[in-house]
Structure 1
Amino acid sequence: MTPADLADLLRSVAAKVLVERGSDPAVLPDEVKVERPRNPEHGDYATNVAMQVGKKAGMNPRDFATALAEALSKSEGIEVAEVAGPGFLNIRLAKAAQGAIVETILAAGEKYGTAAALAGTKINLEFVSANPTGPIHLGGTRWAAVGDALGRILSAQGAEVTREYYFNDHGAQIDRFANSLVAAATGQPTPEDGYAGAYIDEIAGTIVAAHPEVLTLSTGEQHELFRREGVELMFAQIKQNLHEFGVDFDVYFNESSLFASGAVDEAIQRLKDSGKLYEKDGAWWISSTEYGDDKDRVVIKSDGKSAYIGGDIAYFQNKRSRGFDLCIYMLGADHHGYIGRLKAAAAAFGDDPDVVEVLIGQMVNLVKDGAAVKMSKRAGTVVTLDDLVDLIGIDASRYSLVRWSVNTSIDIDLDLWTKSDSENPVYYVQYAHARTNQIIGNSAAFEYDSVTPDFALLTADREGEVIRTLGEYPRVVATAAETREPHRVVRYLEELAGAYHPFQSDKALRVIPQGDEPVTPVHAARLELVKATRQVLANGLGLLGVSAPERM
């Protein structure tokens, strides 16, 4: 019996108890929550449903809990249900019912943890979207790891997810990038507001080698060629780096296309005609303060030209025209103001502002020997995706970046993440998977197929802890999708590894028979438990885009 099964049973029994006592079962929540008690002595699971609805049903919560415990104890799969305090209900499952979680996992395989909660929902997930003016820095790398994991988690809940990269090839930053390439190619100092680093010299050299005539062109022609070729080369490198990092996008959307097609002018005119913009000081404004922005934003400047927000408005309208039900933007720490302006744009077009979600990611720092690492081999003053991967590898990079809430600034300790022991969180989880694989491999020398597992024999606390932790996985994934928090999956995997390691190292709980000892039903049940653990570890690591090694 999984926690979800228990929750359904609780709601059903509670509804029956309420009807028997003349109360309306409609007071029950749609989903009854069950949790694992901090103290295992209190039972396998606990619920406060009696306290939630007792008074609403005209009953004393403890009296309701007592009636619920009595009825629940008669249900198949429940060993005992006991009332605690003012109306808490502690529940212990029958061992065979608890062991059924293992069978459920093995039957579902890779599908265990998936659901249809978001089936039919089309989600546009925009992340990274770094300007093609330099390699991806640590902030963008964090979004690459978190965004890809979030896309996998949303898909696991049935959503149709489109991963999108907004390719900013329009504006002043691109001009500064081109000016920097021209300076590098012609031996001039880097412009004061330009970009520096070995990568600028490399790109400039590649362009000159491919187009030697560029040095003889007029200033305008020279600038345009370096701009066009430089952006193409830089973005090709960004795409390659992301691909090697395990992150690929379904759509690469060019910002310049919004201006070239007239979409920006059309979107602004539509808002102007519908009265959704107001005029002040010769400019046209949108009321973004109504949606949490710190000030209203100019959309049409006093000179009649579109402000930068015009592209954002047209881009949102484009996403909605492609049929997306939800548009999630994953932006950097300096983009907090975008929450209000994007929600204001949605409202101005007659949409529910909640079709826009903006996730803001905080800073990432590298630490080595207790000191911050600030320099890059190629990019000069910023540490890049390549730098991080070179230092700790792809798996540790992705895992470490997803491990914390995006609302939190993080320090990645290079000394910790390069360790090959249990102090390193990703090693700890991956090693648990490798150990399950080793035990399963060793079992091939014994005749397990001729023995029927008896899950009722898995009575040890350590066995029960692994089983109950396995049962939590679907709820963890569902919550991670609902809250947009992939780090919940990371912490769950560490909890599962923390339950599994003591179990597999306990000599009193052997999975493999010793000497001439035959395979018994309890050996077979433990092997199935190991297989289920391997499956859930692999499923969870897969959601993070982290490998599940067979051996370490």
Structure 2
Amino acid sequence: MTPEELAAAVRTVLTQAVADGSLSLPEDEVPQPRVERPRSRDHGDWSTNVAMQLAKKARTTPRALAELLAGRLADVAGVARVEVAGPGFLNIRLDAASAGVLARTIVEAGSAYGRNETLASQHVNLEYVSANPTGPVHLGGARWAAVGDSLARVLAACGATVTREYYFNDHGAQIDRFAESLLACARGQEIPEDGYGGSYVGEIAAQVVRAEVAEGRPDPATLPDGEAAEVFRSRGVALMFESIKAELHAFRSDFDVFFHEDSLHTSGAVDRAIGRLRERGVIEDRDGATWLRTTDFGDDKDRVLIKSNGQPAYFAADVAYYLDKRARGADCCIFLLGADHHGYVGRMMAMCAAYGDEAGTNMQILIGQMVNLVRNGQPVRMSKRAGTIVTLEDLVEAVGVDAARYALARSSMDSMIDIDLDLLASSSSDNPVYYVQYAHARTRSVARNAAEHGVSREAGFDPAALGTRADADLLGVLAQYPATVVQAASLREQHRVARYLESLAAAYHAWYGATRVTPRGQDPVDSGHVARLWLNDAVTQVLANGLELLGVSAPERM
């Protein structure tokens, strides 16, 4: 019996009590109860506080209601015993067969186990990374890539239609400085003081020159300044962006949409957005400029959209971009931003409300903290290629894609993290990605060993044979996976999947040491061996499913 099935059984008992008059409560107020693992397994397999939640509405005491429910729940098939504890907790113990059937359920469900339709009606536009196309992806961008892609996978696992989007900042002064840096490098001159350094600038500049010459055009470095800068701007930015996309693809972080900021200004999207807001009566013209009255919606001051010189403010692109996302069908627009964007939250949420949308529902902003790399106990501060920053490329070169993705995705976005490169490169149980991947590899080794000893799932399945405490503990952790996926999606917290996998790996390693899947010596294969092979393979499946949500491989051998 899964926790979802048990929760449904508790609700059925409540509904029946209402129907026969034992419980004084309107039928439409019967909730969907929550069942959870008790902190101590001595208290049972599952626990619910539904009696404490409903007692006041039902005009009774929590303990009296719990006693009423306990007697009826004890008659539910698969329930071995129900105890009332404390002020009104219901502690439920399942019989071995009812608990054990979960192993077959998982194996037969395969990759579908844990997937659900809780977000089936939602179209989510998830934007992340969105680094300026003026250099390699830095370490902060690497974190957004790992977190964003993992969150997209989790949301999709809950039935949402997810659009992964990268906002290409190709409009503004930073592009001019990048072009000037490329030109200076190509001419052998010193990089401007506010320009971009690092060996990658020379690499891109050389690629621009080679490409132009190969197409029969003159070396752009020999052109007059204005013409040369334009060549390096158009071609250099395109080459840099292709390099960024290649880095992200190698990191298993691909996007459905690469949206160009410049298109908002060239397509008239900014004017259309201002027109829509003007229709809603939230635009004000004063001091020769066009303002959005964001103070009407909780912002600390109104925001300029069109400056008095007629040029759009940066916020004008944000206003147009959000409207464009909504026009493309997004019910929920999620933005993953760095800590340096914390000050933008108020104006962005006010802008959402100005359109008549619900801030926090139609627009959600997740702020992430930075990442520090440590090697030999010392901070890693400089990239070999980028110069002043550490990049995604540096991290992957040091520890590989699996370890990098897992390390970046296993912590809450709003916490600053230190990544120990020595630990991530080690084959140690202290290395979390190794610990989880090793658990998966161990399940496959157990399965191969079982086959060699004649233990096969084809021999049938007796769930009652999974009757030891170790079996029950492992089954209990497996049962929590679907709820973990739902919670990770609803809270936008992908790290919950990683932490769950670590708890499952721990439970599996403990189970491995306490039970046997193969017989000893010349002992015959019995139903317990077969049932534990089913349980072993169920762990294989859940570890693989969870690692897939994090974009991390599930190795067969290590």
In the superposition, the TM-score normalised over structure 1's length comes to 0.97
> What is the letter of the counterpart of residue 190 of structure 2?
P
How far the C-alpha of 1:29 sits from its partner, in A, is 5.7
Contact 1:448 1:524 (8 Å CA) reproduced: yes
**Aligned: 1:393 with 2:400:** yes
Change (3 A) 1:289 1:397: farther
CA distance in 2, matches of 1:504, 1:88: 32
**Which residue number corresponds to residue 233 of structure 1?**
239
How far the C-alpha of 1:340 sits from its partner, in A, is 2.5
How far the C-alpha of 1:341 sits from its partner, in A, is 2.4
**Which residue number corresponds to residue 461 of structure 2?**
453
**Aligned: 1:497 with 2:505:** yes
Which 10-residue stretch deviates more, 181-190 or 205-214? Answer: 205-214
Q: State how 1:73-88 maps to structure 2 within 5 Å.
A: 73-88=74-89
Which 10-residue stretch deviates more, 360-369 or 25-34? Answer: 25-34
Q: State how 1:57-456 maps to structure 2 within 5 Å.
A: 57-211=58-212, 212-289=218-295, 291=297, 293-353=299-359, 354-445=361-452, 446-449=454-457, 451-456=459-464
> What is the letter of the counterpart of residue 462 of structure 1?
A
**Which residue number corresponds to residue 485 of structure 1?**
493
Contact 1:241 1:386 (8 Å CA) reproduced: yes
> What is the letter of the counterpart of residue 216 of structure 1?
T
Contact 2:297 2:353 (8 Å CA) reproduced: no
CA distance in 2, matches of 1:29, 1:495: 33
**Which residue number corresponds to residue 53 of structure 2?**
52
Q: Secondary structure at the match of 1:337?
A: helix
Q: Secondary structure at the match of 2:412?
A: coil
**Which residue number corresponds to residue 215 of structure 2?**
none
> What is the letter of the counterpart of residue 39 of structure 1?
S
1:471 is aligned, of 479, 492, 498, to 479
CA distance in 2, matches of 1:462, 1:205: 62
Contact 1:98 1:467 (8 Å CA) reproduced: yes
How far the C-alpha of 1:514 sits from its partner, in A, is 1.9
> What is the letter of the counterpart of residue 234 of structure 2?
R
How far the C-alpha of 1:290 sits from its partner, in A, is 5.2
CA distances 1:7-65 after superposition (whole Å, capped 9, x unpaired): 11111112222443251254756421111111110111111110011111111110000
CA distances 1:93-141 after superposition (whole Å, capped 9, x unpaired): 1111101111211121100000011113211111111110000001100
Q: Secondary structure at the match of 1:358?
A: strand
How far the C-alpha of 1:458 sits from its partner, in A, is 1.6
Contact 2:115 2:157 (8 Å CA) reproduced: yes
> What is the letter of the counterpart of residue 368 of structure 2?
G
How far the C-alpha of 1:261 sits from its partner, in A, is 1.0
Q: Secondary structure at the match of 2:129?
A: coil
> What is the letter of the counterpart of residue 148 of structure 1?
D
> What is the letter of the counterpart of residue 16 of structure 2?
K
**Which residue number corresponds to residue 514 of structure 1?**
520
Q: Which runs of 5+ in 2 are unaligned?
A: 213-217
Change (3 A) 1:337 1:450: closer
> What is the letter of the counterpart of residue 487 of structure 2?
T
> What is the letter of the counterpart of residue 321 of structure 1?
A
Contact 1:47 1:90 (8 Å CA) reproduced: yes
CA distance in 1, matches of 2:477, 2:229: 60
CA distance in 2, matches of 1:331, 1:302: 29
Change (3 A) 1:142 1:450: closer
Contact 2:165 2:259 (8 Å CA) reproduced: yes
How far the C-alpha of 1:455 sits from its partner, in A, is 1.7
Change (3 A) 1:26 1:193: farther
Contact 2:455 2:529 (8 Å CA) reproduced: no
In the superposition, the TM-score normalised over structure 2's length comes to 0.96
CA distance in 1, matches of 2:159, 2:527: 37
How far the C-alpha of 1:454 sits from its partner, in A, is 1.9
**Aligned: 1:524 with 2:530:** yes
Contact 2:306 2:313 (8 Å CA) reproduced: yes
CA distance in 2, matches of 1:357, 1:86: 39
> What is the letter of the counterpart of residue 57 of structure 2?
K
Q: Secondary structure at the match of 1:340?
A: helix
Change (3 A) 1:175 1:34: same
Change (3 A) 1:417 1:293: farther
CA distance in 2, matches of 1:449, 1:400: 35
Q: Secondary structure at the match of 1:161?
A: strand
CA distances 1:488-527 after superposition (whole Å, capped 9, x unpaired): 0000000000100011122xx2101122211101111101
Contact 1:146 1:401 (8 Å CA) reproduced: yes
Q: Which runs of 5+ in 1 are unaligned?
A: none
Contact 1:198 1:378 (8 Å CA) reproduced: yes
CA distance in 2, matches of 1:89, 1:280: 64
Change (3 A) 1:362 1:290: farther
**Which residue number corresponds to residue 16 of structure 2?**
16
Change (3 A) 1:277 1:501: same
CA distance in 2, matches of 1:375, 1:22: 67
Q: Secondary structure at the match of 2:137?
A: coil
> What is the letter of the counterpart of residue 117 of structure 2?
A
**Which residue number corresponds to residue 533 of structure 1?**
539
> What is the letter of the counterpart of residue 505 of structure 1?
G
Which 10-residue stretch deviates more, 377-386 or 259-268? Answer: 259-268
Contact 1:466 1:500 (8 Å CA) reproduced: yes
Number of residue equivalences: 550
> What is the letter of the counterpart of residue 488 of structure 2?
A
Contact 2:14 2:30 (8 Å CA) reproduced: no
Which 10-residue stretch deviates more, 426-435 or 280-289? Answer: 280-289
Matched residues, percent identical? 56
Q: Secondary structure at the match of 1:328?
A: strand
Q: Secondary structure at the match of 1:466?
A: helix
